[in-house]
Amino acid sequence: MAPNKPQKTSDSFSNSGFSTQSVHAGEARQKLGNSITDPIFCTATYTFADTQSAIDFVKLKLPREEYARYGNPSEKVAERKLAALEGGEEALLYASGMSAVAGLLMARVKAGEEIVLFDECYHRTRELCASILSNFGVKTHLISTADYQQLEAAITPATRLLVSESPTNPHLSVIDFERFVAIGRKYNVETVIDSTLGTPLNQRPLEYGVDYVLHSCTKYLAGHNDMLGGAVVGSAEKMEPLRKLRGVLGMVLGPHNTYLLLRGLKTFELRMRRHNENGQAVAEFLASHARVEKVYYPGLPSHKYYQLAKQQMSGFGGLITFLLKGANAQETSAVVDAVGIPRIGPSLGGVESLIEQPIVMSYHDFTREARLALNIPDNMIRISCGIENPEDLIADLKQALER
């Protein structure tokens, strides 16, 4: 099992525990105005005392800011903290999770080159590759998730990236990082894992040799359903072209959202352990209920990737997908409507539990045939367990299922 403690970094808290790093890593001991929290820098531009100061900044590449599209002091703090937690050399923040996906793909793939993408990746990631990057001459091979023979067969001399989530959403399939990385290295192709559902606490893709780890910071990292943000973590060398492109495209995280991310990270381990506890308890309850046909959760022995998940992960998160036995779309909606604690809505990873019917939310613009081809049936429900008491969540789901 990969270790649950961040790798050593140059940070003074590199040998500390996970929560200690979540609170202190990347931060100065004494901050502007002697504040204990990092200030919010609401500025578009940064001024120079005189012309010589500006010349020195340009020529000597001094570590200060010039214009907000290229950086913000608190953004740098959050990036250092995320890099420490993920065990990478550098992190790069973006305006949203999809901005991070787009920024990475656009920086690493150009016209005439190819991406290989597992088919359980987030539907907007699939759309970005198949419908948008294709307009710029980038070809995407969409293959069955965790089919490593098909993955290897899809690689051509033009392939530049192998991309997957792990666990995937909403089926929670788990990618074998060792096999994934080995195939990439065999053909000199870089590897990308979207670890939004995995989180830096529960799994460590970089330790297996994955080149880039992606996060939607909107989810577990910030954790309060109140901001949008994304991040890519990797080596300093690999981050440099991404940083330059982000400055050109302006995919930057705003100062208030940076503050909310920093605030959320302070309690990340505490929250995540409750998400793990709630997810496991609710998944076990659902698996035992007579009205439930199937539960997708990697912490259950019945899950297809349970053994692999146990090897790679130290916890399994709060997201659960399940099927109602013999239910049609309307009957499934009735269960969603009957719960009293989870709110109906998209997203996941916040302190409040959320519930949704994927055919209503994420896949409403797909035909039924297209949805079924992606294994998104009418009787599917997805629940993101927040940090409420697990017995309350279970009692609420029980009354909804039995109403």
Neighbour count for residue 92 (Cβ, 10 Å) = 27
Both 260 and 294 in a single domain?
A: no
Both 130 and 225 in a single domain?
A: yes
Last residue of a domain, one of 216, 242, 266: 266
pLDDT value at position 4?
47
User: Is 219 designated active site?
Assistant: yes
Last residue of a domain, one of 214, 238, 266: 266
User: Is 61 designated active site?
Assistant: no
Cα gap 381→295, rounded to integer Å:
10
Of 89, 87, 91, 79, nearest in space to 26 by CA: 79
Last residue of a domain, one of 243, 266, 289: 266
Query: 219, 271, 274, 371: which is the annotated catalytic residue?
Result: 219
User: Is 194 designated active site?
Assistant: yes
Residue 141: CA count within 13 A, CB half-sphere: 20
Percent of the chain topping pLDDT 70? 97
Report if residue 5 sits inside a domain: no
3 state SS of 214: strand
End-to-end Cα separation, the chain, in angstroms? 42
pLDDT value at position 11?
56
Dump the DSSP string for 114-169: EEEEETTS-HHHHHIIIIIGGGGT-EEEEE-TT-HHHHHHH--TTEEEEEEESS-T
Query: 194, 211, 378, 396: which is the annotated catalytic residue?
Result: 194
pLDDT value at position 403?
86
Query: 69, 124, 160, 273: which is the annotated catalytic residue?
Result: 69
pLDDT value at position 364?
83
pLDDT value at position 248?
96
* Both structure tokens of 37: 């929290």
Looking up residue 342, the CATH number of its domain turns out to be: 3.90.1150.10
Query: 122, 220, 305, 363: which is the annotated catalytic residue?
Result: 122
Cα gap 214→190, rounded to integer Å:
13
pLDDT value at position 15?
84
Both 276 and 213 in a single domain?
A: no
3 state SS of 99: helix
Both 208 and 314 in a single domain?
A: no
Looking up residue 95, the CATH number of its domain turns out to be: 3.40.640.10
Both 299 and 333 in a single domain?
A: yes
Q: What pTM was estimated for this model as a whole? A: 0.94
Both 272 and 261 in a single domain?
A: no
What tens digit of pLDDT does each residue of 5-32 get? 444 434 568 788 999 999 999 999 999 9
Neighbour count for residue 330 (Cβ, 10 Å) = 8
pLDDT value at position 362?
82
Confidence band of 373 (pLDDT split at 50, 70, 90): confident
| Containing structural domain, residue 348 | 268-402
Residues 214, 101: contact at Cβ < 8 Å? yes
Report if residue 3 sits inside a domain: no
Both 154 and 201 in a single domain?
A: yes
- What is the mean pLDDT of the segment spanning 66-82? 96
Number of domains in the chain: 2
pLDDT value at position 10?
43
Both 253 and 310 in a single domain?
A: no
Sequence-separated (6 or more) residues with CB below 8 Å from residue 131: none
Both 74 and 188 in a single domain?
A: yes
pLDDT value at position 366?
85
- What is the mean pLDDT of the segment spanning 191-209? 98
Report if residue 7 sits inside a domain: no
Is the pLDDT at 2 greater than 80? The verdict is: no
User: Is 69 designated active site?
Assistant: yes
- For the CA atoms of the chain, what is the radius of gyration? 22
Cα gap 207→195, rounded to integer Å:
13
Q: Please identify which residue in the block is written with the tokens 């001991």.
A: 29
Looking at this protein, which amino acid is placed at residue 206?
Answer: L
Report if residue 187 sits inside a domain: yes
What tens digit of pLDDT does each residue of 97-154 get? 999 999 999 999 999 999 999 999 999 999 999 999 999 999 999 999 999 999 999 9
What tens digit of pLDDT does each residue of 344-364 get? 999 999 999 999 999 998 888
